Amino acid sequence: MRSSRLWPVAAALILAVTLALVPSGVLAQSSDPVRAGTGMVVSESWIASEAGRDVLAAGGNAVDAAIATGFALAVTHPSAGNIGGGGFMVIRFPNGQTTAIDFREKAPLASHPEMWLENGEYSAERHHRSHWAVGVPGTVAGFDKAHSLYGDMNWERIVYPAVVLADDGFVLSDRLSGSLSRFALTDGRPAATVAQFSNGGTAYAAGETLRQTDLGRTLKRIMLDGRDGFYRGETARLLVAEMERAGGLITAADLEIYEARERVPVTGYYRGYEVISMPPPSSGGVAMVTMLNMLERFDLASFGHNTAPYIHHLSESMRRAFRDRAQFLADPDFVDVSVHALTSKEHAAELGNDIQSDRATPSGVSDIPMGYESPETTHYSVVDGNGMAVSVTYTLEGGFGTGIVVPGAGFLLNNEMGDFNAGPGLTNDRGLIGTSPNLARPQQRMLSSMTPSIVARDGRLVAVVGSPGGRTIINTVMQVILNVVDFGMNIQEAVNAKRIHHQWLPDRIGIEADGASAETVRLLEAMGHTVQVGGGQGTAHSIMIDPRTGERLGAADPRNPDAGARGH
């Protein structure tokens, strides 16, 4: 059992007062970051950022604050914040050493490569929307491991803010109330889901308070018993009961044997900057370093930001790195992944030696197609007063995961098994992938694009970066780094700037709305590119260190008005 000492009542009262205030969020299109002299937290929810900031102010380190922020997001950002999902954490210590915590979900013991076939035919329903689509959750084990290895503050103090948020509730914004009404009141939602996210079957309105008492009880068990409060006891019993009721695969044994892994981060160098990111089973770090290595030989600044030559060279590097991703990357506990070779300068030179300055390289359907990966993830960044930096990206996969709330436990189940390939030999030009490395196998972790990253130079912390967005994550994070390194933007400008995306197949460049002029699009099309303009890409909540003052500069992405940077 964990110690039963609770966070002082006075602190709980402070949190309650905070929740009654109107959120300041982020200044919608401000180019100025939020400044703080000691610590900073930036996340998808200003309320969760404040929970992490308060932990820093009370003497916790960046790992403690990251855990507090993550648990709070499980309450305030239910579409992706979670205890029923998984993800990755990258840590840089004040002395420059680094590590990574892999808490990606695992396939249940009953999994097998042909599990998505129904009567011999591929079933997207089974793959993405059924109880079979649920991977063994990793978030609680990951946070527990990070805390046991590197946390300073009492575990209960870290988890308690999330308990308060679930029990006492928080005021819903326009954005979140609309999201909940569209999600919870869709026909066919399970009764527990409707009860959790609607007001007795009626949509919540902005300004109303969302209370989640079942989730609060689950968080209390985690607060008191750590990982055992989730993977054993009452919470585990409730989860397994839901699996048994609906024919799911996760058993009590799956929960008991789940372990988070500490891994060596991927490290690359770009124009003298050290880029530290997540290794496999995330593809993000490898793909980003590969792209940066290809781009380093070009004078990107001379092209101008988001001009046709700039977008052309970025997209050419992206298509090649994404082809590598599909061919070589998977869970390294099951597949031999040569990270060193894939991220070498020599490999990048070979990949990019046929990039032409005025002509697109076509992506053929005979090459490796790219399957679907949901954009619904969440990222947050933390820096403490000593310079410890933590970058976390975690997810339920689809928005609100499977949409299934565990009755009596109050948390949503992921549909991460959908990130495994469709089945042996099922690669086709419609987007299915049947290559072997990322097929479902017992205890294997599914491939991901999450790219929590940290940038340093000459032994000093420069920035903490990451984003949600499915496969767009890798390209979003890279462009924030390019904006800082090649174009000298401050971190808020780098986050605000319009982004592009290419992922090998489909063979097109996606550009955010208003991200390129009509003339730029015309020039790209003349080079042979297919261009699609519209929508948004990611929410890259980031932190930079002011090189002159040492201040922490927090940049919440204005693409989400509920986001917030909070420092002290």
CA gap 441, 446 in Å, rounded: 9
Give pLDDT, residue 225.
98
Query: Tens of pLDDT along 251-302?
Result: 999 999 999 999 999 999 999 999 999 999 999 999 999 999 999 999 999 9
Residue 506 pLDDT > 90: no
Residue 381 pLDDT > 60: yes
Domain shared by 302 and 361, yes or no: yes
Give pLDDT, residue 373.
66
Average pLDDT over the chain reads 92
Domain shared by 254 and 271, yes or no: no
Domain shared by 145 and 222, yes or no: yes
Domain shared by 258 and 273, yes or no: no
Query: Tens of pLDDT along 186-213?
Result: 888 999 999 999 999 999 999 999 999 9
For residue 542, what is the domain's CATH number? 3.60.20.40
Domain shared by 319 and 332, yes or no: yes
Catalytic annotation, residues: 377
Domain shared by 364 and 395, yes or no: no
Q: Are 560 and 175 in contact (CB under 8 A)?
A: yes
Query: Tens of pLDDT along 22-43?
Result: 333 333 468 999 999 999 999 9
Give pLDDT, residue 56.
98
Query: Tens of pLDDT along 208-221?
Result: 999 999 999 999 99
Residue 82 lies in a domain: yes
CA gap 411, 392 in Å, rounded: 20
Domain shared by 463 and 561, yes or no: yes
DSSP 339: H
Q: Phi and psi at residue 357, in whole multiples of 5°?
A: -75, -20
Residue 528 lies in a domain: yes
Give pLDDT, residue 282.
96
Give pLDDT, residue 426.
65
Mean pLDDT, rounded, for 89-97: 98
Pairing of strands 453-457, 273-277: antiparallel
Q: What is the pTM of this model?
A: 0.93
Mean pLDDT, rounded, for 79-97: 98
Range scoring the smallest mean pLDDT among 122-126, 136-140, 224-228? 122-126
Handedness of CA 369, 375, 380, 381 (dihedral sign): positive
Residue 28 lies in a domain: no
Mean pLDDT, rounded, for 530-548: 97
For residue 354, what are the contacts with CB-CB under 8 A and spacing of at least 6? 361
The band of 424, judged by pLDDT with boundaries at 50, 70 and 90, is: confident
Domain shared by 147 and 215, yes or no: yes
Residue 459 lies in a domain: yes
Residue 20 pLDDT > 50: no
The band of 376, judged by pLDDT with boundaries at 50, 70 and 90, is: confident
Looking at the structure of the chain, the number of domains it has is: 2
Pairing of strands 509-511, 531-533: parallel
Range of the domain at 293: 265-374+449-567
Mean pLDDT, rounded, for 535-555: 97
Query: Tens of pLDDT along 399-417?
Result: 999 999 999 999 999 999 9
Residue 27 lies in a domain: no
Domain shared by 366 and 490, yes or no: yes
